[in-house]
A = this chain, B = another copy of it.
Amino acid sequence: MFKIAVIPGDGIGKEVMEATINVLDALNLDFEYTYGDAGDECLEKTGTALPKETLDLIKNSDACLFGAAGETAADVIVKIRQEMKMFANLRPVKSYPNTNSLFKDVDFMIVRENTEGMYIADEEKETEEGAIARRIITRKAEERIIRYAFEYAKANNRKKVTAVHKANVLKKTDGLFKEIFYEVAEEYPDIESEDFYVDATAMYLITNPQSFEVIVTTNLFGDILSDEGAGLVGSLGLIPSANIGEEGALFEPVHGSAPDIAGEKKANPTAMLLSAVMMLRHLNLTDEADKLDAAILKVLDEGKYLTGDLGGSSNTFEMAEAIKNNL
């Protein structure tokens, strides 16, 4: 039996979560779901966007499914990542059939460092005249994420890892990142290694996206490049993510709470469902993960039950139901 923390959050987070739990139910998993609160509505109700009980719930679960938070997203999700030491943020960028993907054969994994960089919230408002933010790069955290990327490549039969940085300008911080990257790369002689500047990478993602297999990068660059990846494959509604740490793991769509369409059942449930697939794999429920993954692909491939963002006319629950029927 696995204990699963379920945090729907705000806006479309609730809809895609409900649809996803519906589908998971059909897999007859030995899951005990416990629901927790976080986000804008929670702030309004309880005075805090991330109550201690919610953090404790995540801590005491085997995995967490997270929907989306609204305006408070940064306070909720960045805090969870840091408190739970979820150091690896995995964001697969993959083109699916019947989507607006610009390319047919894109399939790479972004491995984003999730605990430091510009996300340490170490800022000072000097005077009225200016402010300073600090970007921290430590050997410990970067070595861990780089090794994670190579291990991921090894386990998933990927042939290349690409490090992304701006070491020509950030000579000490990203210089260190690049140095560590090639140190770790030596331990994996069978996997090709290369490095690019973040600006060049932002271009190559468009001009040569098929060349990427695994990208490893620091926190903010991973944030930017994964949204660019979402654009590349046509919709944020298709990109799941995993936040993996020593004390817990959380799975969430890369999209936000989309207040403009919240409650209208228009949201694409795919990213949340693919996040559930990542969770199943994380819990070593490989057969179930494969089954759900195949059902999602089938429904996309058939193109009969698609949400509006994919040019279809099904609602969130109809698309999820179609996936359920294909399990």
Contact = CB atoms under 8 A, between A and B. Distances in A.
A176 interface: yes
A220 interface: yes
Interface stretch (A29-37, A163-171, A278-286): A163-171
Contacts of A43: none
A177 to B, nearest CB: 9
A134 interface: yes
A148 interface: no
B135 A135 contact: yes
Most central of A102, A198, A227 by chain B CB within 10 Å: A227
Contacts of A169: 74, 78, 118-119, 121, 220
A58 interface: no
B131 A176 contact: yes
A320 B118 CA distance: 44
Interface string A156-180: 0000000000101111110110000
Interface stretch (A15-23, A137-145, A187-195, A293-301): A137-145
Given A166-B220, A227-B200, A123 B171 contact: yes
A220 B235 CA distance: 25
For this chain, the copies found in one complex come to 2
B139 A129 contact: yes
A261 interface: no
Contact of A173 (B133, B199, B231): B133
A100 to B, nearest CB: 8
A119 B202 CA distance: 18
A226 interface: yes
Contacts of A121: 169, 171
A118 B135 contact: yes
A185 interface: no
A206 B102 contact: yes
21 contacts: A102-B102, A102-B206, A118-B169, A130-B137, A130-B139, A130-B176, A132-B135, A134-B134, A134-B135, A166-B220, A199-B224, A200-B227, A202-B202, A202-B225, A202-B231, A203-B228, A203-B236, A205-B228, A206-B228, A206-B232, A207-B235
Interface of A: 73-74, 78, 100, 102, 118-119, 121, 123-125, 128-140, 166, 168-173, 175-176, 198-200, 202-207, 220, 223-228, 230-232, 234-236
Given A102-B206, A203-B236, A206-B206, 5 more contacts: A118-B135, A121-B171, A131-B137, A131-B173, A132-B135
Nearest 4 CB-CB pairs, A to B? A206-B231, A130-B138, A123-B172, A203-B231
